[in-house]
């Protein structure tokens, strides 16, 4: 027998407990005071250097690690929890979500199925998701890490459904090569998925978009006909419910009809946009989404669930399971005991071991109610309209895309400056906005023009925050172009 037996549990629980209470208080203070923080603060060299040290071999204690967190992490993290963060598409999280993460970590459940509460909580959340999105009660559903994984899972189901026997025998046995179609505004996770699914990047056809950045339906028809003419089999259309660049939504009713006519799978990427389904006033924009064979959307963006959490729904649960259910003796389903239970989530996505993500979603939905998420989405859409109006009424600013939902793309402009110059000026404005800590929009290129892009998925933003933004853009723009 060894004379000492080791564990990770504390030798003195009361000290750790006191530190735990302090951590909780520190994080409450952080969130309560977030508006007084800069929207971004660059880590100084000293903070970066704190994360470039040798592997620790001996114990330094949680107090030492926490000190480093307070010194080198916490001061530089405002980012997407800040009221003036509108970059990329990021959610703000919630205080309730933070608390739930503590509970989740305390339980440290591996939520892969089994006869445990995590399974029932997850089934509850999945049932609510089908209801929210107008999917049938028996459709396949899974909670995954985010929209990228949700797109991957859905497109795997699409591939196997259209590949027939080649799904088992290997894609080299396909009778005709497959082509998938999406607009040129589609998120790059779709292209990544096609690579990972062995279909090849070139199987993805980028269909041009109209002036509203929606997929051009006649171009789609032409491309499908051309592919058929060359012996290529059209397999799937990916529609956008809120593009990442401008928030445009494709004509989903028309895309659903094309897919029915052509015998194709219809997938919708609604990473953030699908949340509009909760609102009677916004829902018409999403018409046709409920006809999709599969849908991807995120909890961690416009539903403000703590990172990370996304959802995939697949109308035909059998199709959903096809790529992911693989029998294994060590996973034999038992009649009773821990190894029983009503669901095996491993059959609906690549992961076996999984975090108990459903708890933070369930708790947030119960705590806030879906009406509050609806109001928040509507508030962000109204803020996007407000920002667009500010841009349009100021001669020094120019809207670069129609504001269809919650994303506003604009730039500073000045008579006599060409696009190339303005692209440079606006990139510089964007970086300075961030460096000054005023706000964090991100940028994108729209038809050759660099846009300052605000994706408003933020429950802390207030109308006056957008006045602060436009004021700063004009101030920086003038400073950069004076004398030109
Ligand atoms: C963010 C986003 C994705 C990817 O989702 P992640 O959760 O970041 O993986 C896919 N599509 C669209 C339209 C997005 O906005």
Cα of 261 vs centre of ligand 1, distance in Å, is 29
Q: Do residues 118 and 341 touch, judged by C-beta distance below 8 A? A: no
Going by alpha carbons, the residue nearest to atom 6 of ligand 1 is 147
- The per-residue pLDDT for 482 is 83
* Nearest alpha carbon to residue 278 among 351, 350, 199, 368: 368
CB contact set of 378 (below 8 Å; sequence gap of 6+) = 279, 281, 282
Cα of 89 vs centre of ligand 1, distance in Å, is 8
- The per-residue pLDDT for 137 is 98
Q: How far apart are CA 389 and CA 380, in angstroms?
A: 14
Cα of 23 vs centre of ligand 1, distance in Å, is 31
For the stretch 318-364, pLDDT in tens is 999 999 998 888 888 889 999 998 989 999 999 999 999 999 999 99
Tell which atom from ligand 1 comes closest to the C-alpha of 273.
13
- The per-residue pLDDT for 483 is 59
DSSP 62-86: HHHHHHHHHHHTGGG--GGGSTTB-
- The per-residue pLDDT for 333 is 85
Among 142, 148, 185, which residue has the most ligand 1 atoms within 8 Å of its CB, making it the best to mutate? 148
Measure the CA angle with vertex 309, ends 304 and 315; round to 5°: 110
- The per-residue pLDDT for 134 is 97
Cis peptide before 308 (omega within 30 of 0): yes
Name the residue with tokens 């292209």.
191
Name the residue with tokens 């030492």.
64
Cα of 396 vs centre of ligand 1, distance in Å, is 32
Q: What is the pTM of this model?
A: 0.97
Q: What is the mean pLDDT of the chain?
A: 96
DSSP 98-144: HHHHHHHHHHT---SSSSSHHHHHHHHHHHHHHHHHT--TTSEEEEE
- The per-residue pLDDT for 1 is 67
Among 86, 93, 144, 146, which residue has the most ligand 1 atoms within 8 Å of its CB, making it the best to mutate? 146
Cα of 147 vs centre of ligand 1, distance in Å, is 5
Low-confidence ranges of the chain (pLDDT < 50): 484
The tokens for 299 are: 């909890």
Cα of 187 vs centre of ligand 1, distance in Å, is 7
Among 183, 194, 298, which residue has the most ligand 1 atoms within 8 Å of its CB, making it the best to mutate? 298
Q: Do residues 245 and 409 touch, judged by C-beta distance below 8 A? A: yes
Tell which atom from ligand 1 comes closest to the C-alpha of 270.
13
Among 91, 145, 301, 442, which residue has the most ligand 1 atoms within 8 Å of its CB, making it the best to mutate? 301
* Nearest alpha carbon to residue 94 among 440, 376, 297, 453: 376
- The per-residue pLDDT for 436 is 97
Q: What is the CA radius of gyration of the chain?
A: 25
Going by alpha carbons, the residue nearest to atom 14 of ligand 1 is 271
Q: How far apart are CA 45 and CA 41, in angstroms?
A: 12
Going by alpha carbons, the residue nearest to atom 15 of ligand 1 is 244
Cα of 408 vs centre of ligand 1, distance in Å, is 17
Tell which atom from ligand 1 comes closest to the C-alpha of 308.
7
- The per-residue pLDDT for 157 is 98
Site residues for ligand 1, CB cut-off 6 Å: 89, 146-148, 187, 189, 242, 244, 269, 271-272, 298, 310
Going by alpha carbons, the residue nearest to atom 5 of ligand 1 is 147
Tell which atom from ligand 1 comes closest to the C-alpha of 240.
13
Cα of 286 vs centre of ligand 1, distance in Å, is 17
Cα of 96 vs centre of ligand 1, distance in Å, is 23
Among 142, 147, 310, which residue has the most ligand 1 atoms within 8 Å of its CB, making it the best to mutate? 147
Sheet containing 178-183: give its strands across.
140-144, 310-314, 294-298, 265-269, 233-240, 178-183, 204-207
Question: What sign results for the dihedral spanned by CA atoms 149, 151, 157, 159?
Answer: negative
Cα of 148 vs centre of ligand 1, distance in Å, is 6
**Other residues' Cβ atoms within 10 Å of the Cβ of residue 73:** 14
Q: Do residues 214 and 249 touch, judged by C-beta distance below 8 A? A: yes
């Amino acid at each position: 027998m060894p004379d000492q037996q080791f564990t990770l549990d504390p030798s003195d629980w009361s000290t750790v407990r006191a530190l735990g209470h302090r951590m909780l208080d520190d994080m409450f203070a952080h969130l309560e005071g977030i508006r007084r923080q800069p929207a971004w603060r660059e880590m100084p060299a000293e903070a970066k250097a704190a994360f470039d040290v040798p592997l620790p071999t001996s114990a330094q204690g949680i107090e030492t690690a926490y000190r480093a967190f307070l010194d080198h992490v916490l001061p530089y993290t405002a980012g997407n929890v800040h009221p003036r963060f509108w970059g990329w598409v990021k959610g703000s999280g919630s205080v309730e979500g933070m608390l739930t993460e503590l509970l989740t970590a305390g339980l440290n459940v591996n939520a892969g199925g089994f006869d445990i509460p995590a399974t029932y909580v997850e089934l509850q959340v999945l049932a609510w998701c089908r209801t929210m999105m107008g999917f049938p009660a028996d459709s396949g559903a899974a909670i995954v890490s985010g929209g990228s994984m949700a797109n991957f899972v859905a497109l795997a189901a699409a591939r196997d459904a259209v590949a027939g026997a080649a799904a088992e025998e290997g894609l080299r046995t396909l009778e005709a090569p497959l082509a998938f179609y999406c607009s040129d505004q589609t998120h790059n996770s779709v292209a990544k998925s096609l690579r990972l699914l062995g279909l090849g990047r070139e199987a993805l056809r980028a269909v041009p978009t109209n002036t509203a950045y929606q997929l051009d339906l006649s171009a789609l028809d032409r491309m499908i006909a051309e592919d058929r003419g060359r012996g290529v089999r059209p397999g799937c259309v990916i529609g956008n419910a809120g593009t990442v660049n401008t928030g445009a939504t494709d004509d989903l009713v028309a895309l659903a009809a094309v897919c029915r006519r052509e015998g194709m799978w219809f997938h919708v990427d609604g990473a953030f946009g699908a949340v509009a389904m909760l609102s009677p006033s916004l829902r018409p924009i999403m018409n046709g989404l409920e006809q999709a064979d599969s849908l991807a959307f995120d909890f961690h963006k416009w539903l403000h669930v703590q990172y990370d959490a996304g959802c995939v729904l697949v109308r035909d649960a059998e199709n959903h399971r096809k790529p992911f259910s693989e029998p294994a003796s060590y996973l034999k389903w038992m009649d009773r005991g821990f190894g029983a239970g009503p669901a095996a989530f491993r059959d609906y996505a690549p992961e076996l071991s999984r975090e108990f993500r459903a708890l933070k979603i369930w708790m947030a939905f119960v705590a806030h109610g879906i009406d509050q998420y609806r109001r928040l989405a509507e508030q962000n859409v109204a803020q996007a309209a407000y920002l667009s109006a500010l841009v349009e009424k100021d001669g020094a600013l120019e809207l670069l895309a129609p504001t269809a939902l919650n994303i506003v793309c604009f730039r500073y402009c000045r008579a006599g400056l060409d696009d190339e110059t303005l692209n440079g000026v606006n990139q510089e404005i964007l970086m300075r906005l961030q460096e000054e800590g005023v706000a964090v929009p991100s940028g994108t290129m729209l038809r050759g023009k660099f846009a300052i892009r605000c994706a408003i998925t933020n429950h802390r933003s207030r109308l006056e925050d957008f006045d602060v933004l436009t004021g700063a853009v004009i101030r920086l723009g003038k400073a950069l172009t004076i004398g030109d």
